[in-house]
Homo-oligomer: A and B are copies of this chain.
Amino acid sequence: MGSEIVEVAKKAKEASYKISTLSTEKKNKILKRIAEKLDEKREYIKEKNCIDIENAHKKNLSSAMIDRLTLSDKVIDSMIQGVMDIIKLPDPVGEIVRMWKRPNGLIVGKKRIPIGVICMIFESRPNVVIDAGSLCLKSGNAVVLRGGSEAFNSNKVLCEIIQEALKEENVPAEAVQVFPTTSREAVKEILTLDEYIDLIIPRGREGLIRTVVENSTIPVIKHYKGVCHLFVDRDYGDYEYASKIVVNSKAQRPGVCNALETLLVDEKIASEFLPKIIEDLKKAGVRIKGCEKTLQIVKDIEKAEEEDWETEYLDLILSVKVVKDMNEAIEHIQKYGSNHTDGIITQNYKKAMEFVERVDSSAVLVNASTRLNDGGVLGLGAEIGISTTKLHAFGPMGLEELTTTKFVVFGDGQIRE
């Protein structure tokens, strides 16, 4: 088995040299072929997907899991739309980010290049093969994929489609590959192939991501969790304005990483604001866990324990805490936050600016829903994930974050004196 895994990574490295210098036109042509093939081969895709779904039923997997696994016509349509959207995005490769001249006459530039070989380690949703494959191709990277065993056949058929498109354009099919095994030992082996793989992006449960971080000798970009906060300042302004932001942050889609998990409320306005917002949140189906002070103001809610402040519920549950002022709010975020998405609701200019300055999260928002921290919404085009690692990419990762820069130096005989 070992040699099979190495072989995949090695071939990906070789293919990466070809892929890295393709013209934008050529890459878009391949992407267009992928979109066409997804449409033409719907029945074949669904047939292969069926094998995984049947196995899932046999293994009694949850209906939510089977739902994530299913490649319906609707999911296929959205994959096709995703590829078409990526075609429209500008190609980041080749951009000279800056260029300058040194006193000795050297011309020095920083040129944007693909990272090389990217490895995605993910769970359940097979559409990651198409999303990640297309983003990596457009940014000139080779990609190797290791999905969950429950989606093995689905991942394979989607990869096959990409490889056909590559071959038809005379580009090495090894630019996009699925590892031939999904075992845990295989993952551990993959994580040591730093000679061939340049970056690992894990997506899934915190446990999976921790395993990757602990065992990888390859750089990893990840986020463990999103414990997102909103601080409602004493100068929050209009109630409807604030409440719309809070409710949307928590309830619009509670199962995702940028959903609100903790609401911090300024003491000065707690007794008038809390009863109203808790009622509105309850109407939206949210269960509330409050701190001591919150419980003094609103009675019929649960008590928040210490561990609640660091919990990502991913559900219609919200912890609520009364804080003395913005300073205490920021300190709470520094202590319990996950550097993901945090915001303030205020009409006070000075406080808005100070909050933005002092909170070191991947996205810091003023008067807007935490749900807006998303590559698409913020204008990066598609995103391959959100990073809370402060290195390389911090926040949503789009095409540009799938590249790096190298120094290009044009000389005319310069030497070191």
Contact of A21 with B by CB under 8 A = yes
Q: Can you list, as one digit per residue, whether each of A55-99 has a CB less than 8 Å from chain B (1) or not (0)?
A: 000000000000000000000000000000000000000000000
A389 cross-chain contacts in B, Cβ below 8 A: 219
Can you list, as one digit per residue, whether each of A204-227 has a CB less than 8 Å from chain B (1) or not (0)?
000000000110010111000000
Within residues 361 to 409 of chain A, which ones have a CB less than 8 A from any CB in chain B? Answer: 361-369, 371-374, 377-379, 389-392, 394-396, 404-409
Closest B residue to A411 by CB, please name it. Answer: B368
Which listed residue (B20, B249, B413) contacts A367, Cβ 8 A?
A: B413
Selected from B357, B405, B407, B412, the residue in CB contact (under 8 A) with A21 is B357
Given A102-B377, A221-B391, A377-B102, A364-B413 contact (CB < 8 Å): no
A409 adjacent to B219 (CB under 8 Å): no
How long is the Cα–Cα vector from A21 to B358 in the complex, in angstroms? 7
Instruction: Report how far A415 CA is from B220 CA in the complex, Å.
Output: 31
A198 touches B (CB below 8 Å): yes
Cα of A11 to Cα of B87 in the assembled complex, Å: 48
Give which listed residue, B116, B356, B391, B404, contacts A199 with CB less than 8 A: B391
A365: chain B residues at CB < 8 Å are 409, 411
What separation, in Å, do the CA atoms of A138 and B407 have in the docked complex?
A: 24
Nearest CB of chain B from residue A366's CB, rounded to whole Å? 5
Q: How far is the CB of A397 from chain B (nearest CB, A)?
A: 12
Judge if A245 is at the interface, Cβ distance under 8 Å.
yes
Q: Mark A8-50, 1 if CB is under 8 A from B, else 0.
A: 0000000001001100000000000000000000000000000
Instruction: List the B residue with the shortest CB-CB distance to A107.
Output: B366
Determine whether A241 belongs to the interface, using a CB cutoff of 8 Å to chain B: yes
Q: Verify B100–A367 contact, CB threshold 8 A.
A: no
A408 touches B356 (CB 8 A): yes
Q: How far is the CA of A404 from the CA of B106 in the complex (A)?
A: 27
**Interface contact A248-B416, CB-CB below 8 Å:** yes
Chain B hits for A106, CB < 8 A: 368, 372, 377-378
Q: How far is the CB of A94 from chain B (nearest CB, A)?
A: 8
A364 touching B408 by the CB < 8 A rule? Answer: yes
**A115, CB-defined interface residue at 8 Å:** yes
In the complex, A220→B364 CA distance in Å? 26
- Residues on the B chain within 8 Å of A405, using CB: 394-395
Q: Would B415 and A252 count as touching, CB distance under 8 A?
A: yes
- 12 more CB-based (< 8 A) A-B contacts, given A252-B416, A368-B413: A17-B334, A17-B360, A102-B379, A106-B368, A199-B391, A356-B408, A360-B406, A363-B407, A364-B408, A369-B415, A391-B392, A392-B392
- Chain A residues proximal to chain B, CB less than 8 Å: 17, 20-21, 100, 102, 106, 108, 111, 113, 115-116, 194, 198-199, 213-214, 217, 219-221, 241, 244-245, 248-249, 252-253, 334, 343, 352, 356-358, 360-369, 371-374, 377-379, 389-392, 394-396, 404-416
The 6 closest A-B pairs by CB, nearest first: A368-B411, A248-B415, A371-B416, A392-B392, A363-B407, A369-B415
